Structure 1
Amino acid sequence: MAASKQLDQITEKVERLLLRHEELQRTNALLVEQVHALQAERDSLKSRLLAARARIDALLERLPATEERKEST
């Protein structure tokens, strides 16, 4: 009788652990999706920043040279 009760307790604990494991796997999958989405957003923002910098550099090149710029060259 005691062995049966002990086996039932172990079975219950294992079932709870399996449920917890499945829950953690789902949570991990959601977090992985979020990380990928944030990485894609970061890459997009980096690209936009580089494009904006290139446009600003092009505009700066089109500006007439000031005295300071003439002296430094």
Structure 2
Amino acid sequence: MFYITAAVASLIFLLVVFVFQEKPETPPSLAQVALRDMATTQYSYLASIARLFRNKPFILLLISYGTYC
């Protein structure tokens, strides 16, 4: 049973590595078009996280979900 699961997982892994492209030829949205045209130095992951933690509705949502669990 585990050999079958390992074979299926390995097949899917090989398909993802060798068949799928890094990004689609046509962007799925206008935001992705703008992001492709933007230089990589203009956006960063840490800046996005910092901007997210300055967003009051996000903080309220984070607190409300944190108190629920």
TM-score grouping bracket, smaller chain normalisation: 0.3 to 0.5
What TM-score comes out, normalization by structure 1 length?
Answer: 0.32
What TM-score comes out, normalization by structure 2 length?
Answer: 0.34
> When you count helix as a share of all residues, which structure comes out higher?
1
